[in-house]
Amino acid sequence: MRAVDIIIKKRDHQELNDTELKAFLQSYLSGEVTDYQMSAFLMAVFLNGLTDHELKTLTETMRDSGHQIRLEGVSRFLIDKHSTGGVGDKTSIALAPLLSTFGIGTAKMSGKGLGHTGGTLDKFDAIPGFKFPSSEEEMVKSIEHTGIGIMGQTDNIVPLDKKLYALRDVTGTVNSYPLIASSIMSKKLAVRSDGIILDVKVGDGAFMKNLEDAQQLANIMRGIGEMFGRKVHIVLSGMEHPLGNAIGNGLEVFEAVQSLHGQGPKDFEELITTITGIALLQKGDVTTLEEGIEKATEKLKSGEAVKALHDFVEDCGGDASYITDPNKFITAKFTYDLKAPQNGYVSSLKAEKVGTSAMMLGAGRETKEDIIDPAVGIMLHKKVGGKVQKGDTLATLHYNKENQKLKDAITLLESAYTFSDTAIETPNIILDIQ
């Protein structure tokens, strides 16, 4: 069947069989199907969706288009946690060591970030000398020793997804739930794991702006996991204001390590103990989520997870003294305190504006070529629900350069805050669990 026949069939709401869809996708990867033909197909999918059968075939073909990480030799129960991203999202840094204390290994491919702050790879760059495992063999060794298995994404993992995503980005077809879900799940399925936990962010600072849309995406992703016999749980977590208090790469690692020392913010602690509780449920160590969260909370208070992160950093050639003394992450030359303009309560704190402010300081990338400064960022002292007096410090900006971007970042951060004369309830971090 010609490429144009596939496009017409999808345009006219007809289901494609395995042979047709696989051949079309594989021909695009090899260059036989052109970008303009695939663009037409993606728009047809955007408008008409995919059947469950087509969704499985698409995900499977993307997964099988490159190398798969099988992690042979790993004896631990493996969890792959994925976040859809948000402002102040440093979850993996604290979660992986906490899971390790329960004999659970982390199997995770991470990348560099584009936007508010860096990805997990960028955050660990704040530790002098640190280098992630660069091969599957090194990752297996790390998981067996420390329980933490994180490595950079490689070009030979789901190359079809990379090529399709680049095209979606310039053809107005990114916001298609079947395409989003298959893109995420193809990467999850390409790495061996016993359980998958997806943290879908919801709110101003997230890709998904409302709970209903996030639940719809979550249902599709969980359905894909079930098609392939994987245990999948999904946490819908709030991103109306930033997660935790730190935004910026070194500052976020500082806060994650502080949390492992029992000194982190409550919302961040609730998220990582909830995800750990789900992992214990998937592993079969507990019979209820409540029991799992209770065990995770006790373990977090014990400080035991600090050793796992210390050993991981040491194994990766990093200066592990940063884990025992996280204050070493506070390295920016200058700070600026943003003051409250009035008495009252913080009624809203727009996460996206806070994230953009941090990016202006150098904590994130506007383009792939931008260089991240691991020392800069923002520490929040007041969030939604917080009571303030005029002149109280709302947030502290950490920066290394005094320029127009600093002034713009301060102005934008000021506009992220709004206030009320009456008490405001602190928003929930966990919105739903599926």
CATH of the domain at 30: 1.20.970.10
Annotated catalytic residue, options 65, 92, 183, 237: 183
Statement to judge: residues 290 and 385 lie in one domain: no
For residue 433, list its beta bridge partners: 235
Does a structural domain hold residue 289?
yes
**First and final CA of the chain: distance in angstroms?**
40
* Shared-domain flag, residues 406 and 371: yes
Q: Tens of pLDDT along 191-217?
A: 999 999 999 999 988 888 899 999 999
How much is the average pLDDT of 89-112? 92
**341 and 313 within one domain:** no
The CATH number linked to 375 is 3.90.1170.30
426 assigned to some structural domain: no
Catalytic: which of 168, 231, 299, 350?
168
119: amino acid identity, one letter: G
* Same domain flag for 166 and 230: yes
Q: Is the pLDDT of residue 113 over 70?
A: no
Residue that is last in its domain, among 271, 297, 324? 324
Q: Is the pLDDT of residue 291 over 70?
A: yes
- Rounded CA-CA distance 404/358 in Å is 14
pLDDT the model gives residue 120: 86
Catalytic residue from among 80, 122, 125, 161: 161
Nearest to 337 by CA among 373, 296, 378, 367: 378
Q: Backbone phi, then psi, for 201, in 5-degree steps?
A: -80, 145
Indicate the residue among 300, 324, 348 that finishes a domain.
324
Is 55 inside a domain boundary? no
* Residue 168 a catalytic site member: yes
Residue 326 has pLDDT above 60, yes or no: yes
Is 373 an active-site residue? Answer: no
**pTM listed for this prediction:** 0.93
**Catalytic entry in 187, 188, 365, 383:** 187
Tell me whether residue 399 is in a domain. yes
Q: Strand pairing partners for 9?
A: none
Q: Do 313 and 349 fall into the same domain?
A: no
Whether residue 71 is contained in a domain is answered as: no
Q: Specify whether 186 is located in the same domain as 114.
A: yes
- Determine the Cα–Cα distance for residues 367 and 216; give it in Å rounded to an integer: 30
* 427 inside domain: no
Of 265, 289, 324, which residue sits at a domain end? 324
Q: Is 125 among the catalytic positions?
A: no
Number of domains in the chain: 3
Residue 347: domain span: 330-420
Domain identity same for 292 and 378 = no
Whether 366 shows a pLDDT value over 80: the answer reads: no
- Separation of alpha carbons 76 and 311, rounded Å: 17
Q: Which of 102-111, 149-158, 247-256, 421-430 has the lowest mean pLDDT?
A: 149-158
C-alpha closest to that of 88 among 201, 185, 209, 234: 201
> What's the rounded Cα separation, in Å, for the pair 319 and 43?
49
Question: Is 279 in the same domain as 385?
Answer: no
Confidence of residue 391 (pLDDT cuts 50, 70, 90): very high
**Structure confidence at residue 81 (pLDDT):** 94
pLDDT confidence of residue 112: 67
pLDDT value at position 154? 75
In a domain, 336, yes or no: yes
In a domain, 242, yes or no: yes
Task: State what percent of residues in the chain have pLDDT above 90.
Answer: 88
* Range scoring the smallest mean pLDDT among 80-94, 107-121, 157-171, 179-193: 107-121
Is residue 187 annotated as part of the catalytic site, yes or no? yes
Residues 97, 168, single domain; the answer is: yes
Active-site hit among 10, 82, 350, 383: 82
CATH for 195 = 3.40.1030.10
Residues 204 and 270 in one domain: yes
Let me know whether 236 and 202 are in one domain.
yes
pLDDT computed for residue 116 by the predictor: 65
Residue 57 has pLDDT above 80, yes or no: yes
Structure tokens at 260: 């492992």
Strand 195-202 relative to strand 231-238, pairing: parallel
For residue 132, give Cα distances in angstroms to 181, 183, 212, 257, 398. 27, 24, 37, 18, 26
Same domain? 221 vs 247:
yes
Residue 121, pLDDT > 90, answer no
pLDDT per position as a tens digit, 15-44: 999 999 999 999 999 999 999 999 999 999
